[in-house]
Structure 1
């Protein structure tokens, strides 16, 4: 008798609040369908805390610590940028085996509210070497400019980049290409 091993995916929502959480639930459902029963996609609702990064790094760390097996990280929009911040500014456990980032904003500017979201200039050198990074961006994204993918390409030459012809910010709620890449790990 063979034992089925369950693999774990932690999906971090874009934006904040219940409306964005509900919108991204369709992405989560698509990803779960593409991955099948051997995977469990964890999708916690993260609350906005009164911290410069909305408390996301701490919350991501807490969610990662709850999963004791290997873990794959997936984030959308703000959630994707916060996963990069978490990976580059903390010491993620060895059991993190991949990061899949969708419509990731590259925060810049001097506005006070952006300071806690911005990556350090040397973020790329601080990323764990054992974690492959995959970035996905739709060319017709109406919320996070497609140009952000090119910015990440400059900083992360080791990353696998996917330019998606159409799908908007929500990828038409179809994450088959992400599921395919996760299954290839």
Structure 2
């Protein structure tokens, strides 16, 4: 039973309460979990270092009990980047949803500050990671999920036929224990 979920939003204008379908689907599927939802700084113009600092503060505030990270879009790729430097104790699983893969294979997504290190596959090999993406995502193409899965060979790749950039059907698949 998941007791705590750290939800990391993506970049761009953030919807008001109840406005992020991914967050609301997580809330509905795991109603008894304490859902931690930090505001990551300047989402319209994200700074990689400021996001890492904010994620670090949120992680340090989590009590010593089993927990899970769900990161949507940039929140997912930034969660992975954070974990390359420190894997917190009692972290059970990471679920990225529609996360971009910042690498040369995606020239429009080649911002060096957000890129994962080349050692990401080895560094995170013992961590349970699920990469969720919808085939019809028109913001971050599903090729990004395949790229992340190549970089993270121990990750489970879940490709959904639909859901766009805000897929929610994954929540009923038991991907968070």
Q: How many residues are treated as equivalent by the alignment?
A: 172
Is it true that 1:117 corresponds to 2:114 in the alignment?
Answer: yes
What RMSD, in angstroms, separates the aligned Cα atoms of the two structures?
Answer: 2.6
Structure 1 unpaired stretches of 5+:
none
TM-score (norm 2): 0.85
Deviates more, 1:75-84 or 1:24-33: 24-33
Secondary structure of the 2:159 match is strand
Larger radius of gyration: 1
Is it true that 1:55 corresponds to 2:36 in the alignment?
Answer: no
Is it true that 1:126 corresponds to 2:123 in the alignment?
Answer: yes
- Give the CA deviation at 1:141: 0.2
TM-score (norm 1): 0.82
Structure 2 unpaired stretches of 5+:
none
The C-alpha deviation readout for 1:53-90, integer Å capped at 9, x for no partner, is 151111111101111122201101101000010011x2
- Decide which of 25, 36, 45 is 2:39's aligned counterpart: 45
Residue 176 of structure 2 aligns with which residue?
182
Q: How does 1:2-151 map to 2 (within 5 A)?
A: 7-16=3-12, 19-22=13-16, 25-37=20-32, 39-48=33-42, 52-68=47-63, 69-88=65-84, 90-109=85-104, 114-127=111-124, 129=126, 131-151=127-147
